[in-house]
Structure 1
Amino acid sequence: MSSTDRPHLPAWFDISTPDAPRARRFYQELFDWSVNSLDATYALVADGDGRPSGGIGQAGPDSPYTGLVAYFPVDDVDTALARAEQLGATRVLAPIDTPVSRIAVFTDPDGNHVGLVSR
């Protein structure tokens, strides 16, 4: 499940919340983040160099989760998710392609949400 970029560090974070505008304001003021809204439901958070490093999204009634999820880089999301499930994880968000990566989310045996991402 290793990736050549940063194998043991999160590659992305996502905050999914019932009130995304409030969360964007909160974190922008707390951490002085640069927040760029893509649309009414999702905004990118930039790191110090201006590169997107995470996002804040609007959770709706059909959202697979709410809260904070750290996404860890893997070479193959589908393979890593299958391995996590073999180890006792539960799939929350099936692998999907985004404009820049492939992602999935699972809960570990203790119920923590964990994301997988491959580029």
Structure 2
Amino acid sequence: MQEDSTFPHTVAWFDVSTPDAPRARRFYQEMFGWPVNVLDDTYSLVGDADGRPTGGIGQAGPGSPYTGIAVYFRVADVETALARAEELGGARRLEPRALPGMGRMAVFTDPDGNVVGLLSD
């Protein structure tokens, strides 16, 4: 994922983390007409009109770092951006990790408790 030099840190992905993923999949598919690709019992990809994945719906469990909707922003380096979020009063929710074929990700909460994701190559 390349940062857009005109608009750096643009929205790159979204996740809906819910205790009832099948219900959420049905709701959002009916609400927005999203194509849904169920990967397994815990996660589904949702896409745009061309079927390209633009987000996901996941099953939240006891160890989930968050529930609700999280927006992920493109950054040059996940670790650097996560450290900066902490310097500004944010708190880590999900340590940086590799995503097969997508780069790296991490999650933090801002000082108001909003969940924010980070993605980098």
* Range into which the TM-score falls when normalised by the shorter chain: over 0.9
Alignment partner of 1:115 out of 91, 114, 117: 117
Aligned sequence identity (%): 68
Normalised by the length of structure 2, the TM-score is: 0.92
Distance 1:69 1:101 in 2: 18
Q: Deviations over 1:54-76 (max 9, x none)?
A: 00000011111100000000010
Q: How does 1:48-59 map to 2 (within 5 A)?
A: 48-59=49-60
Aligned residues, how many?
Answer: 118
- Whichever residue aligns with residue 37 of structure 2, its letter is N
Distance 1:41 1:108 in 2: 26
Cα RMSD, aligned residues only = 1.5
Q: How does 1:1-119 map to 2 (within 5 A)?
A: 3-4=3-4, 7-99=8-100, 100-119=102-121
Distance 1:71 1:23 in 2: 19
Distance 1:52 1:89 in 2: 28
The runs of 5 or more residues in structure 1 that have no matched partner are none
Segments of 4+ moved more than 6 angstroms: none
Normalised by the length of structure 1, the TM-score is: 0.94
The runs of 5 or more residues in structure 2 that have no matched partner are none
